[in-house]
A and B are shown apart, each in its own frame.
Chain A
Amino acid sequence: MMNEMEQDWLDKKLQEAAPYIEDDGFTARVLRQLPAPQVRFQFLRPFILVAASALASALTYVLSDGGRFIIVEMFKVTTIPTVWVVGFALASGMLVMAGGIAAAMSKSGQIQS
């Protein structure tokens, strides 16, 4: 009990011995010495992205003879044998399922740890 009181007394005196120090221009001096804020062009990012996508689409359209290859490829798809389509659907289903199981196992491992 006595020891605790002594401890409190010491802590109190230590805290009193550290009075609040007035700013007196300290903050202003620090701010003057900070590196200048970087000029950021973040607001331009979406515009650049949209412009690049539009340009790429236009180029693709022009260079592919008006998108004729799409019609050709679509025709090829319609002529694929049914067995191939079933096989492809099965394979992609299993791939997605395996990915889901792996993600669930990894997540449950994280939660347990």
Chain B
Amino acid sequence: MELTDAGLVARVLVDDDQHAYGELVRRHQSSIRGLLRQLTRGDIALADDLAQDAFIRAYKNIRSFRGEAKFSTWLYRIAYNCFREDARKRKELVGINEEQWQAEQDPQTVDAGLRHDLMHALSLLPLHERSAVLLCCQNGLSHDEAARVLEIPLGTVKTNVLRGREKLKKTLAAWAQ
């Protein structure tokens, strides 16, 4: 039987079991790397460095995980903090690397033109709206969970999601018809 995230965390805590932590990384790497790629506007190398940093930081601080939220929510929060610290260091966010971004996308699942427009529209959103939309609409977090990750009030998350969605809908109006 497959162990739950909580079971794997317990193994890391009790036995310092790095294989159990490896399983946690394997389970969550895609969503964390995906979120960071979107936040860094397609800078894959930077996003992967940040994701690596986030997982190492999570391992070092795993004793502070109290199980009040889901392990994935806790990871998102660490990853978002890594991104924010890096962005603060760089002062400004890096620009979108269109070519690399397109190469990563799979044209079979969504029309490439729509995806391009969607990514472009996302990248135009202010960071607070983009983060809220990505967490809630793309990664399926509840508003409450997103508020924990972003460390902002619940009402602000709802407003940011609503505004972000409205802007995306306006930009992509032609595709929706």
Contact = CB atoms under 8 A, between A and B. Distances in A.
A37 B18 CA distance: 8
Interface string B31-42: 001100110000
Contacts of A13: 110, 114-115, 118, 172, 175
B30 interface: yes
Interface stretch (B54-62, B70-78, B81-89): B54-62
B133 interface: yes
Given A29-B52, A31-B21, A10 B169 contact: yes
B25 A31 contact: yes
A75 to B, nearest CB: 51
A11 B169 CA distance: 11
B16 interface: yes
Chain B interface category by residue count: 35 or more
Nearest to A9: B176
Contacts of A99: none
B137 A34 contact: no
Contacts of A10: 137, 165, 168-169, 172, 176
B52 A33 contact: yes
B25 A30 contact: yes
* Chain A contact residues, majority secondary structure: helix
Interface stretch (A19-27, A57-65, A85-93, A104-112): A19-27
Contacts, number: 85
Given A21-B33, A26-B29, A33-B52, A14 B22 contact: no
A18 B38 contact: yes
B51 A15 contact: no
Interface string B84-117: 0000000000000000000001100110001100
A6 interface: yes
B159 interface: no
A27 B56 CA distance: 11
B51 A26 contact: yes
Given A11-B137, A37-B18, A38-B16, A23 B110 contact: no
B66 interface: no
Contact of A16 (B29, B38, B109): B109
In order of increasing CB-CB distance, the 9 nearest A-B pairs are: A37-B16, A21-B30, A14-B138, A16-B110, A27-B25, A30-B55, A18-B34, A11-B137, A14-B137
Interface of B: 16, 18, 21-22, 25-26, 29-30, 33-34, 37-38, 48, 51-52, 55-56, 59-60, 105-106, 109-110, 114-115, 118-119, 133-134, 137-140, 165, 168-169, 172, 175-176
